[in-house]
Structure 1
């Protein structure tokens, strides 16, 4: 193992683990034969987490017409995949140490992440993804930049240097990380995804969100890439990277639109991002 890899691994190991209940949810839902009853039983064993999920389900984010009073009802209304991703999103927000706020603007970071999550989900729905599967798209957007938090917390000098360099116009933060650290937030984010035992598609999205031309084509990855650029273009929050990258031809073909048309095609983005803020509020509580 190289010195750099040892350093990255040491940083990732310092990040808190998920609660046991969330680890069990991820383990159960990785099995295609997972039953609704089994999943509900696992969530119910953690009363604090149960309360958070119910508050989220009854918020404007889901906009349900009736109040949901039990996890059993929630699993019926939402579907197992959405329940899994809700659990995962809340756990990931809760796992970020409070000290991260001393190293980076966490308000700006979470606003950027929520906007990317919301736009990724909206783009997925436009391409015909089911509401339950669109929860994967939201989770990918919410966690795509989580590697930046690891750098800010546990490699602060290098992170600060990369941030300074990326302030120059036309310079990408991703390239500055590579120059200064020798690795990017996508690299260390993928390592954290392994530590947290995140699903394969989520690990892949975190690892490849700046390099969609490499590896197998992926609709989720294309939506995530576009959402990231739209969010930067519209200045939703900030995660240290202001450079709007051009859309590859393959992405334009998938959507049959250019960047400006895609932005126009998401008229309710502001409102939906506002509704999604509950994720951060409950996750940090």
Structure 2
């Protein structure tokens, strides 16, 4: 990406809304090793709408609890500090997307693809034995991985329409069309947006690199996100405007121990779990 393209992209990202103050404060606290779970809860309590959203999510089929949780304190105990942060992060990110995005992209299809990638990445994380708290990071990264497309659609609309038309041609790959027409990819735009929102470094780097498998480095989160993206496209969950399903690089396949088709067979509950995860978008969009 040359300097002119980077500057244009940064200007577009600047126009995206900021996170609510409560979420900004939570992210600041999460970077402080002395931050306690109680500190996080006290921030959330000051935002009644945010509190209500989190409680509705915790009591939804997504978590499948046997009894109702009626306070954010109890929700915090059940979820744990990292999961509470990532639940709040997912809701805040959906809320931050301007409603005008729906005039440029089919946001129903966009969110369905994002939810499928998030759910699948979390399932792959569990398959590899990561903790429940860490699984929430896999879900959050999957949910946010394509937000660079929204930046392009909102603030470079004519160019991005050209990208989507080009990507619809057989054999073309979306991020390659973006590079050719715009000079940058949605992954790079998403990384800059994650930087604007002050997301944790691991999440920023994974979003920015989710189409760069094989270009150096191999991390569990990136591998699971890449595989989840291809699985979701294979099963046509929503639309990524990218119809090319890439085979798993050998390193990713070795880590997961299966091909894409084998992984799909090994996740028979994926569709149901994606349906349960729709609550993130419904609650996130409620204002």
State if a TM-score over 0.5 links the two structures. Answer: yes
**Residue 101 (1) aligns with residue 102 (2):** yes
- How far apart are the structure 2 equivalents of 1:266 and 1:113? 17
Residues 263-278 of structure 1 mapped to structure 2, 5 A cutoff: 263-278=264-279
Look up the match of 1:46: 47
Deviations 1:103-134 (A, max 9, x none): 01000000000000000000000000111110
Q: Which residue of 2 aligns with 1:67?
A: 68
How much has 1:137 moved relative to structure 2?
A: 0.1
Cα distance between partner residues in 2 of 1:100 and 1:55: 25
Deviations 1:175-208 (A, max 9, x none): 0000000000011111101100001111011101
Unpaired stretches in structure 2, ≥5 consecutive residues: none
Secondary structure of the structure 1 residue equivalent to 2:70: coil
Distance 1:161 1:276 in 2: 32
Query: Which residue matches 1:110?
Result: 111
Cα distance in 1 for residues equivalent to 2:63 and 2:214: 33
Q: Name 1:168's counterpart in structure 2.
A: 169
Deviation at 1:6, TM superposition (A): 1.8
Counterpart CA distance in 2 for 1:103 and 1:130 is: 38
Quote the Cα distance in structure 2 between the aligned partners of 1:18 and 1:56.
19
Structure 2 counterpart of 1:230: 231
**What pairs with 1:1-285 in structure 2 (closer than 5 Å)?**
2-285=3-286
Do the aligned partners of 2:233 and 2:240 also contact (CA within 8 Å) in 1? no
**3-state DSSP of counterpart to 1:61:** coil
Q: CA deviation at 1:33?
A: 2.8
**Secondary structure of the residue that 2:213 maps to in structure 1?**
coil
Instruction: Give the SS at the match of 1:132.
Output: helix
1:52-111 Cα deviation digits (max 9, x unpaired): 000001000011111111111011000000100011000000000000001010000000
Any conservation in 1 of the 2:114–2:143 contact (CA below 8 Å)? yes
Q: TM-score, normalised by structure 1?
A: 0.98
**How far off its partner does 1:4 sit?**
1.5
Q: How much is the aligned-residue C-alpha RMSD, in angstroms?
A: 0.9
Equivalent-residue separation in structure 2 for 1:236 and 1:57 (angstroms) = 24
Structure 2 distance, partners of 1:32, 1:125, is: 26
Q: For the residues of structure 1 that align with 2:64 and 2:184, how far apart are their CA atoms?
A: 41
Structure 1 residue 3: Cα displacement? 2.2
* 2:133 counterpart SS class: coil
The number of residues matched between the two structures is 285
List alignment gaps of at least 5 residues for structure 1.
none
Shift of 1:215: 3.8
Give the secondary-structure state (helix, strand or coil) at the position aligned to 1:50: helix
Question: How far apart, CA to CA, are the structure 1 residues paired with 2:7 and 2:262?
Answer: 44
Deviation per CA, 1:195-251, whole angstroms, max 9, x where unpaired? 000011110111010002234320011000000000000000002111100110001
1:32, CA displacement in angstroms? Answer: 2.9
Structure 1's consecutive aligned runs of 4 or more residues displaced over 3 angstroms after TM superposition are none
The TM-score with structure 2 as length reference comes to: 0.98
Distance 1:141 1:32 in 2: 25
